[in-house]
Amino acid sequence: MRGLGNLKFYLLIAYLFGFAVFLQGQETYIDNFSSVSYSNNDGTASFASGWVETNEGTDPSGGRILINSNQLRFRNLDSRYISRTLDLSAATSATLTLDYNRTSGNESILVQLYDGSSFNTVATLAGTGSVNYSLSSAEMSSASEIRFITGSGNWSNSETIFVDNVQFIAVVSIPNDPPVLTATGNQTYCIGTSQPIVETISITDTDDTTTSSVFIQISNGYVNGEDLLTLTGTHPNITSSWDPVQGELSLTGPALYTEFETAVAAVEFSSSSLLPSGIRQFSITVGEANYLPPTGHYYEYVPSLGITWTAARDAAALSTYYGLQGYLATLTSQVEADFSGSQATGVGWIGGSDAATEGVWLWVTGPEAGTNFWNGTGGGSTPNFAFWNTNEPNQSGDEDYAHITHPNVNPNGSWNDLTNTGAASGNYQPQGYVVEYGGMPGDPVLNITATTTLNMDTEDPTASNPGAVTVYCSSDIPTPNSNVVIDEADNCTANPTVAFVSDVSDGGSNPEIITRTYSVTDDAGNSINVTQTITVFDIVIDTPPAAQTVLVNDNGVFTVSTSNADSYQWQVSTNGGGLFTDISDGLEYSGSSTNTLNVLSVEIDKNGYLYRVLVSNSSGSCPAITSSAALLSVRIGSVITNRRITYRVNKS
């Protein structure tokens, strides 16, 4: 809420920025008699008619009334007169000026104006001089008329009066349609960057192509000391100024609307915070007052040191903003209180009072007039919203009026009660007042403000779950490695951080399921987890090889049954288990690397051999599991003769 040096300057700025629906303009109707013509129009506007002579033929070059030496000359006037009409119906005020000079004689001429029913004499021309006359309202109409007629009756042939520089200066009301501003932009702010606040911007005006200023305020979420608006690029006719208290960037011309569109599109937001949060809402306004989107109202701080509450109330009620009726602000929410308090440049009156009934605080201005917002003193209560400072209101000496406390008294923007005059100096001296516009009956609908937002980055990064892993022993469980997350991505951060979080086992066995979690985090702290499933199968010998007894020259067969194994290595011990050596397929063995070992054409010398198998899984590096050893017993075959005599048969 911009403060101005004094009230006159404030009103001047209000005029320049078009705070009213109508601007004041000036039109001039002038005849300098620069040529011998009764239709001269030397001003910015034209008379409704030329000069018309009465009782004499209308001739600017001859007769007793004529144009001579660039002046209107009157001589021996008697009953003759001359008049001219003009349309002053749009004028709010008008002034007539002219010069005259009587060169001979002692006669006079009357200057008369028509008031709708008769001519009124407004000046008598005798001697030498000038006229400066302010017209009455009746004399300003679509049929306004000026007449020069004799004011005496004894003119001689030589008596002469000259009139020159006949001028009407009319102040007229010029309709000033407010501009229409539209903007789009609902984007994500990426931390550490500087980003435009709009995606598109348009400013149109039916009766203007230029304006003096555009203001951009961070109207929601502003963090003083971190947030910044900056005008980037080159804009020859526009200067920018940043106000860190209000969170507002002023763009000042004058400049074409198209130039302001280009400038607004070049305004960028940045934050020095490592982790900014929430949203930032931007109000872009053609005009002086600040706009608060949640209320749809405009707010303006008017500095006026020592102003009383009643004077501030009356001044606010006389204020208008593009046709909106002003009133001493009524703050009915925390966001509104912050906007008009902590995010403002001064200390001022607001529209609350308990003057009617002590301890019953009402909003007494604006559309909330009559609304009760507090009961009691500092320990009281509110039926809706109040933002009193600690132990306020305290009714210290008939204090009946609400006031935004000085920033030296925390919390910033809170309220206290004061007398109508307040203190003469210090933190409790009134320094101005807050005017609010909006919500009053008859207020026009304005489109002079557009809002956009930047959402501090809350979008999580993305990544796929790493591929599942299967191992066959705990020693083969891979160590955590963030590189297994291969497709991490984010809307703002080029390389989100991947980190190991934890391993969680389901406590099972054969298989045991381990869920491994990795986090993926962007620069804004947004994070997701991805998981990798690790399945641990145990290699188990379900049925070990069994002892075998075979006859010489028969085959011996040893079989093992396993779970989760696909590699086998059979071994043999020829010394009772003292040493086992690997078996290879050949004349003596087959299936040495399968689950079934064939001992081919067993000879008696293998009697007592021990056989075992090492089982493993080829997909990992888990150590092999060794089965128990199985004994091979070899017997010599028997031959039974018909005489029931048994002989042993040697192999040879």
Helix (H) or strand (E) holding 500: strand 497-505
pLDDT at 647: 45
The conformation of residue 331, written as its DSSP 8-state character, comes to -
pLDDT at 193: 95
Is pLDDT of 343 > 90?
A: no
CB 337 within 8 A of CB 237: no
Q: State the average pLDDT over residues 530-553.
A: 97
What average pLDDT is seen over the chain? 91
pLDDT at 181: 95
One of 3.40.50.720, 2.60.120.260, 3.80.10.10, 3.40.50.1110 is the CATH number of 23-175, namely 2.60.120.260
pLDDT at 17: 35
Is pLDDT of 643 > 60?
A: no
What whole-number percentage of the chain has pLDDT above 70? 93
CB contact set of 409 (below 8 Å; sequence gap of 6+):
389, 416, 427
| CA nearest neighbour of 36 among 69, 1, 64, 14 | 69
pLDDT at 176: 67
Is pLDDT of 289 > 80?
A: yes
From its phi and psi, is residue 76 left (phi > 0), alpha (psi between -120 and 50) or beta?
left
CB contact set of 636 (below 8 Å; sequence gap of 6+):
551, 552, 604, 648, 649, 650
- Alpha carbon distances (Å) from 300 to 345, 406, 577, 598: 10, 17, 101, 102
pLDDT at 355: 95
Q: Which residue has the tokens 């004689």?
A: 105
Q: Would you mind telling me the total number of residues written for the chain in this entry? A: 652
pLDDT tens sequence across 189-205? 999 999 999 999 999 99
Q: How confident is the model at residue 506 (pLDDT cuts 50, 70, 90)?
A: very high
CB 190 within 8 A of CB 273: no
Is pLDDT of 6 > 70?
A: no
How many whole angstroms separate alpha carbon 608 and alpha carbon 624? 25
Domain 540-638: CATH superfamily, name plus number: Immunoglobulins (2.60.40.10)
pLDDT at 173: 73
pLDDT at 397: 83
Is pLDDT of 307 > 70?
A: yes
Is pLDDT of 22 > 70?
A: no
Q: State the average pLDDT over residues 50-59.
A: 95
Q: How confident is the model at residue 246 (pLDDT cuts 50, 70, 90)?
A: confident
Q: How confident is the model at residue 340 (pLDDT cuts 50, 70, 90)?
A: confident
pLDDT at 20: 37
Predicted TM-score (pTM) above 0.75: no
How many whole angstroms separate alpha carbon 290 and alpha carbon 284? 9
pLDDT at 511: 95
SS3 annotation, 427-487: HHCCCEEEEEECCCCCCCCCCCEEEEEEEECCCCCECCCCCCEEECCHHHCCCCCHHHCCC
Q: What are phi and psi of 476, to 5 degrees?
A: -95, 0
For the 297-437 domain, the top CATH level (class) is alpha beta
Is pLDDT of 568 > 60?
A: yes
pLDDT tens sequence across 450-467? 999 999 999 999 999 999
CB 160 within 8 A of CB 103: yes
Is pLDDT of 145 > 90?
A: yes
Q: For the chain, what is the radius of gyration of the CA atoms?
A: 51
CB contact set of 101 (below 8 Å; sequence gap of 6+):
71, 128, 161, 162, 164
pLDDT at 293: 87
pLDDT at 15: 33
The partner residues of 454 in beta bridges, in order of sequence, read 187, 280
- 3-class secondary-structure state, position 336: helix
- Alpha carbon distances (Å) from 348 to 422, 434, 563: 11, 6, 85
Q: State the average pLDDT over residues 385-406.
A: 93
CB 342 within 8 A of CB 389: no
Q: What are phi and psi of 566, to 5 degrees?
A: -135, 5
Q: How confident is the model at residue 649 (pLDDT cuts 50, 70, 90)?
A: very low
Q: State the average pLDDT over residues 528-549.
A: 97
pLDDT tens sequence across 155-188? 888 899 999 999 999 998 766 688 999 999 999 9
CB 436 within 8 A of CB 330: yes
pLDDT at 651: 42
